[in-house]
């Protein structure tokens, strides 16, 4: 009986997908991007030129099936990463050819790093990158980063050194500490309220063409996101704040690149993968 039900569901799903009027093949493409992440994961970068709302869906059934289809894809991706034991999962969504446009058209980029850590540590032996160095590599890349802006968001003061804090400031960046700058806000959803202010600053800045939002999931409290190498046992963003930030991010017309990083399925995969799937679906839909 279950086999028949699954067969019917698959048939209806395929039928609904075939009736979608927008050519997904033309709207979606794969392309290497991310200059500063694990090169082995570049091929996993996923590019998207449309919003879910742009699809012509005839009825509520098609919308429900499409959401189910995307949810299944996200689960498959998480399981694939678990099987391959990849320690760093990066998913790129809602992207035009930002790297090409950035170089060819002199586009100026606003970068927001949501993280517990500053991630501006020096390279090992001056040439080997690691999980704590991507934004130092970016800030030192004068060709691509010239005249761009950088914000560190939800940083925990106990996890970063004063030297690295000064480094970010000397490079023209801003640091929003979780305890000092976000938790002081008189709102239930403090994280998304503070992120709204940050995004609005970049959106209103005529000198910023694109926004890159990097979301390190170790910035989320380990009660909801334990599957990371450096969990936020004390403090951290809540699961609701993480979803609210993604909800706000999808409304920004300037965001062309977003990543979710530092998921470690070898530590924990069920609770963390469920939250990450929800975050991705929230951003897409």
- How far apart, in whole angstroms, are the C-alpha atoms of residue 39 and residue 88? 11
List of residues 6+ apart from 228 with CB closer than 8 A? 217, 218, 222, 262, 263, 264, 267, 272
- Confidence tier at 108 by pLDDT (50, 70, 90): confident
- The CATH T-level fold of domain 1-285 is 3.40.800
Q: pTM of the prediction? A: 0.63
Q: In this predicted structure, what is the pLDDT of residue 131?
A: 81
DSSP state of 77: H
E strand segments, 169-242: 174-177, 210-216
Condensed to tens digits (0 to 9), the pLDDT of residues 164-179 reads 999 999 999 999 998 8
Q: In this predicted structure, what is the pLDDT of residue 153?
A: 94
């Amino acid at each position: 009986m279950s086999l028949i039900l699954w067969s019917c569901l698959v048939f209806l799903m395929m039928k609904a997908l075939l009736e979608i009027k927008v050519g997904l093949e033309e709207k979606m493409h794969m392309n290497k991007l991310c200059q500063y992440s694990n090169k082995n994961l570049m091929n996993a970068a996923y590019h998207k030129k449309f919003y879910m709302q742009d699809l012509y869906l005839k009825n509520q059934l098609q919308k429900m099936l499409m959401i189910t289809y995307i949810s299944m894809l996200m689960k498959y991706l998480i399981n694939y990463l678990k099987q391959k034991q990849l320690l760093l999962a990066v998913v790129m969504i809602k992207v035009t050819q930002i790297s090409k446009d950035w170089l060819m058209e002199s586009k100026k980029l606003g970068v927001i790093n949501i993280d517990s850590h500053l991630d501006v540590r020096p390279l090992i032996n001056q040439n080997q990158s690691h999980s704590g160095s991507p934004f130092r590599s970016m800030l030192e890349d004068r060709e691509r980063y010239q005249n761009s802006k950088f914000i560190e968001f939800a940083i925990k003061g106990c996890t970063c050194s004063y030297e690295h804090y000064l480094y970010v400031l000397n490079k023209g960046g801003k640091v929003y500490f979780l305890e000092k700058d976000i938790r002081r806000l008189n709102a239930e959803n403090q994280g998304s309220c503070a992120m709204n202010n940050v995004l609005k600053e970049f959106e209103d800045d005529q000198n910023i063409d694109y926004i890159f939002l990097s979301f390190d999931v170790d910035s989320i409290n380990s009660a909801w996101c334990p599957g990371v190498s450096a969990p936020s046992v004390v403090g951290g963003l809540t699961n609701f704040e993480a979803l609210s930030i993604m909800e706000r991010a999808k409304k920004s017309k300037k965001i062309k690149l977003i990543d979710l990083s530092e998921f470690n399925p070898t530590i924990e995969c069920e609770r963390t993968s469920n939250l990450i799937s929800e975050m991705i679906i929230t951003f897409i839909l």
